[in-house]
Structure 1
Amino acid sequence: MKIGSRTVKTAIGTPIAIVLAQLVGVTNFVSAGILTILCIQPSRKRSVLSAWHRFLACTLAIIFSFAFFETIGYNPIVVGLMLAFFIPATVVLKITPGIATSSVIILQLYGAGHISFRFIIEEFLLILVGVGTGLLLNLYMPSLDNKLKKQQMKLEQNFQIILKEIALYIRDKNKLWDGKELTETEELLREANDLVDRDRENHMLRNKHPYHDYFQMRAKQFELLQRMLPLVSRLPNTDSLSDKIASFFEGLSDAVHPGNTAVLFLEKLDELYKTFKQEPLPATNEEFETRANLFRLLHEIEDYLRLKKKFKASDVSSKRKNKKTGIKQ
């Protein structure tokens, strides 16, 4: 079983917070460990926001506790009454993530039976040690680049298989494919977008993420691939153009790549459009349906290629002189 970074940081931070709280003379030093556990977050941005929310909520909790306990009394009913006002106040101030942390402070103040100035100082020290330790530990975040790269490679492998299976079906109506790559791709895209969001939050001063546009582009391409499948499945027969289109999809499958040579495939696609115009008109309804679905298929793959062309600058210029070395798309 793999131990995550949050678990490691929690295991390290909790005893450190307790020791620090003891060193500064806080009475309820164990609570510093609880505050640290509550402050460990999955990203730097969330960590900073969490620390700020919890600090404000704890400060508000001290004010409310003093006002209610010292004015009305130290009674369980007063705790409930105070929470009835305190929680809506955190909602209004948009610091609700700090409710759990501030509850620790509230119960400590209630348990003390009397709120002195010295005790308030101790509580602030407790907050600073507990929240501060969690914040400092969360400044270290492991890089997600390797995970994102693996997601990218697996996603492109699935695209290759999907395009290859479309080619096989167009050519000889191969129905052996179970389509598991479709489900896998949906999950990969969801996971990749979550990783991108987390990694972007770890770089708070960076507005754009290098993988964000890439996975957005692949998600749109995947939608187009899903739209192509019903067209392919409705092909009642093959004709003279089927093999050429199948070969086009096979070439595209072999060339799925992070780079961009979409312009080469768009040129090949333009040749296929010209071939369509040169073909004699269909003689039967079946031939007409086949030709119509193939033509719609070309429009969908054109949109697929234009998404890639729009995504990044073309890599074609250095490869045009020797296309036979292999096209990567």
Structure 2
Amino acid sequence: MKHKLGMRTIKTAIGATIAILMAQSLGLKYALSAGIITVLSVQNTKKKSLEIALLRLNSTLLALGISCILFLLVGFHPVAFGIYLLIFIPIAAHFKLSDGIVVSSVLVTHLLGEGYVNLSLLINELMLMFIGAGIALIFNLYMPKMIHQIKKDQDDIEEHLRTVLFCLANTTRSQSVSIDEEALFLSLANRLEVARLRAEQNRQNYLFDEMTYYAQYMEMRTMQYHVLTNMRQTLGKVVMTLEQSIMLADLTEHIAMSLHEFNTADDLIKKTKAVLTSCRNQELPKTREEFENRAMLFQYLNDVMHLLEIKRQFIANLTDEQVRKFNPYALEEAIN
């Protein structure tokens, strides 16, 4: 099986090599540890890399402080190292420094191996941490842009949503469930999960710029997906085609054709309310079966309203900056 070298792998290999060479050029002891720290510090996003670097620096300061006191009191003995771990690990966990426990403890073993503590040796350990984490942070400043792929995710998701809505419209009109329905919903769910993770990773790659829009968008579409599953389950309980079935099928198709990233859904909500009013004004059901089926269709219509309200709320919650930055014209300029 062929495996492509990922960007993170390449950055890790080059970064670790540079970290070792830099530590060696400065005459630091245990220079290889700088490379290991780089390997452990390269992350998938800029924010995560910065968080890890700061966390491990704080963890190292805490570890060196505790170990110095213990080694001077107990001696440079494996027992002292065990006591250090008993004290350091709970404290690090309490202050949410757990990701730095392993790296910091490796640096502490250098003190144990040397059998003494002085300012020069402490500076040596701090420099190893600075170089290893610093090189990783510098290399993580470059992240491939994901806008093209995220826009493709959006297009694919919206096309999936249209297909699902047309499928539900057909079921509403004919009470005939498409053989592809299960596959359609499963495909949409998988696509949303992949796109959601990509959008969140993209957000984490911006340190000083607001980039929550795509994550918000994917969350909105995920919420709509859950409503669609409710609509599907409701239709599964309808066993007869009524006048209201045709109205709801036409409405669902209209929503599918109007589906768009920046559609405020206001007009669609007005149309849905009009259908709701029309259904309420119609003659009451004559049989129990008709009553039960119309009740299910009424629930379906309420779900349609919820589906549209989710979109309207998403648009309403966008900031002026987001509207300016992420409208289709601004996006086209940013991508080209």
- TM-score by length of structure 2 reads 0.85
Shift, 1:78, TM fit: 1.9
1:141-199 CA deviation, whole Å, 9 max, x = no partner? 22232332232222212211221111111122222234123233333333333333332
In structure 1, distance between residues paired with 2:34 and 2:17: 9
Give the letter aligned to residue 129 of structure 2.
I
Q: Contact conserved, 2:164 with 2:181, CA < 8 A, in 1?
A: no
Name which of 64, 69, 77 aligns with 1:62.
64
Q: How does 1:1-329 map to 2 (within 5 A)?
A: 1-175=3-177, 176-207=179-210, 209-260=212-263, 262-312=265-315
How many angstroms does 1:77 deviate by?
1.9
User: In structure 2, the residue corresponding to 1:289 is in which secondary structure?
Assistant: helix
Given that residues 264 and 315 in structure 2 are in contact (C-alpha distance below 8 angstroms), is that contact kept between their aligned partners in structure 1?
no
Q: Supply the AA of the counterpart residue of 1:78.
A: A
Kept in 1, the 8 Å contact 2:23–2:34? The answer is yes
Q: Distance in 2 between matches of 1:262 and 1:65?
A: 62
The aligned amino acid for 2:26 is V
> Contact 1:236 / 1:289 at 8 angstroms: preserved in 2?
no
Partner Cα separation in structure 2 for residue 157 and residue 311 of structure 1: 19
Percent sequence identity over matched residues?
Answer: 32
Letter in 1 for 2:194: E
Give unmatched runs, 5+ long, in structure 1.
314-329
* Cα gap change, 1:297 to 1:20, in 2 (>3 Å): same
Contact 1:55 1:127 in 2 (8 A): yes
Please state how far the C-alpha of 1:208 moved relative to its aligned partner: 5.5
Aligned length: 313
Query: Once the 2 structures are TM-superposed, how far is the Cα of residue 237 of structure 1 from its aligned partner?
Result: 0.7
Q: Distance in 1 between matches of 2:243 and 2:59?
A: 72
Letter in 2 for 1:205: F
Larger CA deviation: 25-34 vs 152-161:
152-161
String of CA shifts for 1:229-261, please: whole Å, max 9, x gaps: 122111121122322321221222233221215
Q: Secondary structure at the match of 2:241?
A: coil
Partner secondary structure for residue 248 of structure 1: helix
Does the 8 A contact of 2:203 with 2:215 survive in 1? Answer: no
| Partner SS for 1:186 | helix
Distance in 1 (CA, whole Å) between partners of 2:299 and 2:58 is: 59
* Amino acid paired to 2:161: F
Q: What CA distance in whole angstroms lies between the structure 1 residues aligned with 2:13 and 2:280?
A: 69
Deviation at 1:277, TM superposition (A): 4.1
Tell me: CA distance 1:59–1:310, structure 2 relative to 1, closer, same or farther (3 Å).
Answer: closer
Check the 8 A contact 1:90/1:99 in 2, yes or no.
yes
Identify if the C-alpha distance between structure 1 residues 121 and 277 changes in structure 2 by more than 3 Å, giving closer, same or farther. closer
Distance 1:82 1:248, change over 3 A: same
Match for 2:32: what amino acid? V
Amino acid aligned to 1:237: M
Please give the secondary structure, in 1, of the residue aligned with 2:243. coil
Cα distance in 2 for partners of 1:264, 1:116 equals: 74
Which has the larger displacement, 261-270 or 19-28? 261-270
Q: TM-score, normalised by structure 1?
A: 0.86
* CA gap 1:263/1:92 in 2 versus in 1, 3 angstroms: closer
The alignment partner of 1:38 has SS state of helix
Maintained 8 Å contact 1:35/1:127? yes
- CA distance in structure 1 between the partners assigned to 2:191 and 2:89 by the alignment: 39
Structure 2 residue ranges without an equivalent (≥5): 317-336
8 Å CA contact 1:158–1:185 kept in 2: the answer is yes
In 2, the alpha carbon distance for the partners of 1:285 and 1:28 equals 83
Q: Distance in 2 between matches of 1:202 and 1:68?
A: 40
Structure 1 CA distance, aligned partners of 2:123 and 2:29? 11
Amino acid across the alignment from 2:306: D
Report how far residue 278 of structure 1 moved: 4.7
Distance, in Å, in 2 between the alignment partners of 1:56 and 1:2 is 36
Equivalents in 1 of 2:221, 2:27: separation in Å? Answer: 56
